[in-house]
A and B are shown apart, each in its own frame.
Chain A
Amino acid sequence: MNTNTNQDIDFEKLPSVDLLDYISFKDEFPKEAEAAFVQFCYRFEKDLKRKSEIYCNKYGYNEVVALEITHCTFARVWKYPTFDKDKSKAKDFDKGILIWMYRILYTQIIKYGEKNTCAEPTEEEDLSLVTNSDELLSKFDVPDDAEAKRVVVAKLKTIERALTQLSEKHRIIYFTYRAYQKEGKKVPRTITKLLREKLSLTQKSVNTYYGDAHRHVTNYLDIMNGQA
């Protein structure tokens, strides 16, 4: 990292990982950190907003919330620019950074509404702190390149049909539980408490809703696969 302040730094040309390095030195080099952050936001803003719109839509939130969640995600990056390029298995560092930020974004959505500020997730709540899911992927026989769009659309339709009969409460509980389980994490108690409060349910009901949703989805897939 160039820290010679007499020399102009062309942040537009810097790799995104270097921008994060500059951001992490905001106490020592505040001007450079700010310039790096502005460039970092410019580079990833469009993608993050788009992902936020899609996820928020699945959670029943509108685009106003999606924009706020995007702001909160970048606010977390400004505060904790902790992307670890050595842990990222992505071949493309920019994609690796995005994958890291999607977890931050998703955590913000899960915790949305708890306070009138961006969420400050604890270590166990923070989905961005686990980066081992690439290892899980290697267990399965999956292609190197994404399938044709018609294949991905067909899978989406299958999932949508499997979710059709679930209420909004079922869906929110199901996605929240799956998000933590996907990362090999147990759903933190603070998150189940938040679900209880947001959805006006008892803990027993939250468990029942998840169990029902999980059974419904897997039964549907099993029947389709001819395994029921």
Chain B
Amino acid sequence: MAKPKKIELIEVAQLDSWLGSTGFLFPSNELELDRFNKLYEDYDYKLDDKPIDPIAIINNTFHREPKVITMFEENVVEEIESLRMVARKGKKDLPQHIIDKMLRKHNQDSSDSE
């Protein structure tokens, strides 16, 4: 790591304050808010022309997008591991026509790359 400049340094004790000043956490005071506003004054905001609807809020009728509850697929690592196990077991459980198909595909791929 190149020697950092003094302005780049952040004391661990002040990390939360800087997280709150740079948009990772909410600002907790005017200083953090002022830093935040300086930092993002030129940001390309996409919602400036999209108004909110106070009357719809009062009537509780504003539009909501359907929710996606799960942000990540079920444990992908476990899934890959189980596939690896199948691959390791290999020929024993696989019907001959599948093995033949795989071999054909394998040979075809090799010839493609040549």
Q: Please give the residue numbers on chain A whose beta carbons come within 8 Å of chain B beta carbons, in ascending order.
A: 34, 37-38, 40-42, 45-46, 49-55, 57-58, 60, 63-68, 70-71, 74-75, 78, 89-92, 95, 98-99, 102-103, 105-106, 112-118, 127, 133-134, 136-137, 140, 142-147, 149-159, 168-169, 172, 175, 178-179, 181-183, 197-200, 217-218, 221-225
5 shortest interchain CB distances as A-B pairs: A146-B34, A133-B28, A102-B26, A49-B47, A41-B54
Q: Is the CB of A99 within 8 A of B27?
A: yes
Judged by a CB distance under 8 angstroms, whether B88 is at the interface is no
Count of chain B residues with a beta carbon within 8 Å of a chain A beta carbon: 64
18 extra interface residue pairs, beta carbon distance < 8 Å, beyond A38-B55, A92-B30: A49-B45, A49-B52, A50-B40, A51-B26, A54-B40, A55-B23, A71-B62, A75-B60, A99-B29, A105-B26, A140-B17, A154-B5, A156-B22, A159-B10, A159-B22, A178-B16, A197-B70, A199-B71
What are some 23 contacts across the A-B interface (CB < 8 A)? A50-B43, A51-B36, A53-B43, A53-B46, A63-B46, A67-B52, A70-B52, A92-B30, A99-B33, A114-B69, A116-B66, A117-B64, A140-B17, A152-B21, A155-B18, A158-B9, A159-B10, A168-B72, A175-B24, A178-B19, A198-B72, A199-B71, A225-B12
